[in-house]
């Protein structure tokens, strides 16, 4: 067994010569437990995993309710985790619907998914949606960890061109919204996520050098914050808002530096630094899921969002022999060949997600596993991608929620139950009490009781 002692930072730095992507070795985990306060109850973590373009629902939703439901083909990779999952049927994101704004369902699907709000239709000026559930949590509990939240993705924002029917790309590229008009763009490069968690390893730094560097960084941040404050008074409201975003970011980094000083230890990463974003989708997924697991395990953050593709994605999944672009395929008009290809993509996504759940399950955490202490949502802001429906969304809630969930069931809710009811219920379990969020009408029931 490898212990932390064997993986000192120096060894790691020398080992950086090779940047082969290795999945996290399970054998390493004992050396790498969260810096937990001995005896304390492990924290509850939450993550949201988004898949674009909807799912073929007849091959997703189990026919039976309750504990003894049968798995339909798309969901079947999750079968080993039946005991740790809640299949939630009937949830709706009403904000994703047109509500008089015409086309643009893809942009609205992603924008409404974690906010429960209806985005303002604009190609640029005054983007506006609402704060997302992960950020509500991050703002309340984020101070306890190095990163209030992590935003990750597997596909870069669309490089050019309009995104969806007059909606700014900000809507379809981002899940997390810190304020109603500040999205938090996802990081898609596993190497950069790794560097955020473990440092760049560019140079070996001793304690004195580190302390000195942090001192200057703090001072720099301090003075730019002051500079921004006085600058703001001379500007109009929109420019002020831009500088507020900047100021908030500066404050966040200051907090991170403080947390880093407080909790700093020479943590050796359990796997070597990835070279970059791999071309192979599964490999890319695995790296991200490994990093998510390790971030949760280290208690570097308790809130993560992952977009497995930007909404409206036209990725071609050649890895499973599909060279057609995803989005056009989902407008299948019930053509059997096309429907089958979409099903394959849907299932492929679930397979990747199952890897993550398995990983969390294998990772000991306090008195149980990381999965026991987590709530992981998997879903899409569209149900039927062909018709662009925003009701009956595909939603899984994985994990034990630190004893607050009763998994192993398929629950069907009344039609048009707001998805945000689920989020309010989840926030409650994170110790974040909110009266309402977005269009929520109360807390979703039947999560911990039958």
Partner 1 sequence: MLSFVSARGFGAGDPGFRKVAKPFLAKHCNACHSTKAKVANLDLERFRTVDAVLAEQELWDKAARKIRTGEMPPKGRPAPSNAEVDGILTWLTNEYARYDKSVRPDPGRVTARRLNRAEYNNTIRDLVGIDLRPAETFPVDDSGYGFDNIGDVLSMSPALMEKYMIAASRIAKAAIAVPRTFKETSDRYRSDRVKHNGPVGSLEVKHSFPVEADYELRIAIAGRRAIPEDGLRIVALIDGKEERTFDIVAPPNRPRVLDLKIRPKAGPHTLRAHFIDAQGKVVNEDRGMLVEYLDVRGPYNPAPFEPPPSHAKVLICGEWPGKYDDACLRQIVAEFTRRAFRRPVTPQEVDSFYRYVKVAKDDGESAEVALRYALQAVLVSPQFLFRIERHPKPTDPKASHVIGDFELATRLSYFLWASMPDETLYQLAQQKQLRKPGVLEQQVDRMIADAKFAGFVDNFLGQWLELRNLDEVKPAPEKFPEFDTALRAAMKKETQLFFEHVARNDQSILQFLNSDYTFLNARLARHYGISEVEGDDFRMVKLATAQRGGILTHASLLTVSSYPNRTSPVLRGKFLLENFLNAPPPPPPPNVPTLEEQAATNKGSLRQQMEKHRTNAVCASCHSRMDALGFGLENYDAVGKWRDRDGEFSIDSSGELPGQRKFASPAELKSILMEERNDFAMALAEKMIIYALGRGLERNDRPQLRQIVRNLAASGYKFKHLVMEIVKSAPFQMRRGEGGKS
Residues 81-110 that bind partner 1 (CB under 8 A): 98, 102-104
**Residue 79 found at the interface with partner 1 (CB under 8 A):** no
| Angstrom distance (rounded) from CA 428 to CA 430 | 5
294, 304, 438 from 270: Cα distances, Å: 8, 20, 39
Burial status of residue 124 (CB atoms within 10 A of its CB: 0-12, 13-18, 19 or more): exposed
**Interacting residues with partner 1 between 163 and 182 (CB under 8 A):** 163, 165-166, 168-170, 173-174, 178, 182
Q: What is the DSSP string of 177-199?
A: EEETTEEEPPB--HHHHHHHHH-
- Residue 161 in the binding site for partner 1 (CB under 8 A): yes
CA-to-CA separations, 38 to 35, 42, 355, 366, in angstroms, rounded: 9, 10, 29, 9
Closest residue by Cα to residue 386 from 348, 345, 341, 339:
339
What's the rounded Cα separation, in Å, for the pair 315 and 325?
A: 5
Classify 375 as helix, strand or coil.
strand
Torsion sign across C-alpha atoms 345, 88, 298, 211:
positive
Task: Report 192-211 residues binding partner 1 (CB under 8 A).
Answer: 192, 196, 200
Pairing of strands 395-398, 374-379: antiparallel
Q: How far is the CB of 408 from partner 1 (least distance, A)?
A: 36
**Nearer CB in complex with partner 1: 175/425:** 175
Enumerate the β-bridge partners of residue 177.
183
As measured in angstroms, the least distance from the Cβ of 37 to partner 1 is 26
Cβ density class 393-428: b for 16+ within 10 Å, e for less: bbbbbbbbbbebbbbbbbbbbeeebbbbbbbbbbbe
Is 189 a binder of partner 1 (CB under 8 A)?
Answer: yes
- Binders in 112-141 for partner 1, by CB under 8 A: 122-127
Range 241-270, binding partner 1 (CB under 8 A)? 242-243, 245-246, 248-250, 252-253, 256
Is residue 22 near partner 1 by the rule CB under 8 A?
A: yes
Q: In whole angstroms, how close is the CB of 427 to partner 1 at the nearest point?
A: 21
Q: How far is the CB of 135 from partner 1 (least distance, A)?
A: 11
- Compute the least distance from the CB of residue 268 to partner 1, in Å: 15
CA distances from 174 to 102, 171, 275, 421 (A): 21, 6, 24, 21
Distance CA 56, CA 277 (A): 29
Of 207, 216, 414, 433, the residue at the interface with partner 1 (CB under 8 A) is: 216
The least distance separating partner 1 from the CB of residue 412, rounded to whole angstroms, comes to 26
184 binds partner 1 (CB under 8 A): yes
* Least distance (Å) between residue 9 CB and partner 1: 16
Cβ-based nearer residue to partner 1, 41 or 215: 215
Of 186, 274, 309, 394, which lies in the binding site for partner 1, with binding defined by CB under 8 A?
Answer: 186
Residue 41 as a binder of partner 1 (CB under 8 A): the answer is no
Residue the block writes with tokens 């269009």: 439
340 binds partner 1 (CB under 8 A): no
Mask: binding to partner 1, 360-399, rule CB under 8 A, as x and -? --------------------------xx------------
> Least CB distance from residue 217 to partner 1, whole Å?
7
Q: Which of residues 219, 280, 319, 415 is near partner 1 by CB under 8 A?
A: 219
Please tell me whether residue 136 adopts helix, strand or coil conformation: helix
Site string for partner 1, 411-430 (x = CB under 8 A): --------------------
Q: Helices then strands (H, E): number in the chain?
A: 11, 11
Q: What angle do CA 192, 138, 254 make, to 5 degrees?
A: 65
In Å, what is the CA distance from 370 to each residue of 87, 174, 422? 20, 26, 21
Which one of residues 158, 391, 406, 412 is an interface residue with partner 1 (CB under 8 A)? 158
Q: Which is nearer to partner 1, 67 or 253 (CB)?
A: 253
Residue closer to partner 1 (CB basis): 59 or 187: 187
Q: Which of 157, 364, 366, 408 binds partner 1 (CB under 8 A)?
A: 157
Which residues fall within 8 angstroms of residue 346, CB to CB, at 6 or more apart?
A: 51, 55, 56, 59, 60, 74
Residue 314 CB, nearest approach to partner 1 (Å)? 8
Print the binding letters for residues 282-321 with partner 1: x by CB under 8 A, - otherwise.
Answer: ----------------------------------x-x---
333 binds partner 1 (CB under 8 A): yes
**Which candidate, 169, 166, 145, 147, places its Cα nearest to that of 156?**
169
């Amino acid at each position: 067994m490898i212990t932390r002692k064997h993986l000192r930072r120096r060894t790691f730095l020398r080992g950086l010569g090779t940047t082969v992507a290795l999945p996290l070795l399970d054998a390493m985990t004992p050396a790498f437990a969260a810096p937990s306060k001995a005896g304390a109850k492990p924290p509850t973590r939450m993550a949201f995993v988004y898949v674009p373009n909807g799912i073929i629902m007849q091959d997703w939703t189990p026919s039976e309710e309750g504990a003894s439901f049968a798995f339909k083909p798309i969901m079947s990779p999750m079968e080993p985790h039946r005991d740790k999952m809640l299949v939630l049927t009937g949830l709706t994101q009403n904000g994703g619907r047109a509500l008089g704004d015409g086309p643009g369902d893809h942009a609205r699907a992603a924008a409404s998914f974690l906010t429960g709000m209806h985005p303002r239709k604009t190609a640029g000026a005054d983007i506006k949606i609402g704060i997302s559930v992960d950020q509500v949590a991050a703002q309340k509990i984020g101070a306890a960890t190095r990163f209030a939240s992590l935003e990750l993705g597997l596909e870069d924002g669309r490089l050019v061109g309009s995104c969806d029917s007059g909606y700014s790309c900000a809507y379809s590229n981002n899940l997390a919204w810190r304020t109603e008009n500040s999205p938090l763009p996802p990081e898609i490069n596993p190497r950069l996520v790794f560097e955020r968690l473990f440092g760049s390893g560019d140079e070996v730094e001793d304690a004195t050098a580190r302390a000195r560097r942090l001192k200057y960084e703090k001072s720099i941040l301090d003075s730019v914050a002051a500079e921004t404050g006085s600058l703001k008074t001379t500007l109009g409201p929109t420019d002020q808002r831009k500088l507020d975003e900047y100021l908030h970011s500066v404050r966040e980094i200051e907090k991170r530096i403080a947390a880093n000083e407080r909790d700093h230890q020479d943590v050796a990463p359990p796997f070597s630094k990835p070279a970059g974003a791999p071309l192979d989708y599964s490999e890319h997924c695995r790296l991200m899921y490994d990093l998510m697991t390790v971030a949760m395990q280290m208690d570097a953050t308790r809130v993560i969002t992952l977009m497995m593709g930007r909404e409206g994605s036209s990725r071609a999944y050649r890895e499973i022999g599909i060279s057609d672009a995803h989005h056009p395929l989902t407008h299948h008009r019930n053509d059997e060949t096309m429907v089958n290809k979409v099903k394959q993509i849907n299932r492929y996504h679930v397979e990747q997600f199952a890897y993550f759940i398995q990983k969390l399950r294998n990772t000991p955490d306090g008195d149980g596993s990381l999965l026991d202490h987590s709530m992981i949502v998997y879903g899409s802001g569209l149900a039927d991608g062909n018709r662009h429906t925003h009701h009956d969304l595909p939603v899984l809630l994985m994990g034990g929620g630190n004893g607050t969930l009763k998994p192993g069931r398929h629950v069907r809710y009344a039609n048009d139950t707001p998805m945000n009811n689920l989020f309010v219920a989840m926030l409650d379990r994170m110790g974040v009490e909110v009266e309402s969020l977005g269009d929520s009408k109360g807390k979703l029931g039947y999560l911990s009781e039958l």
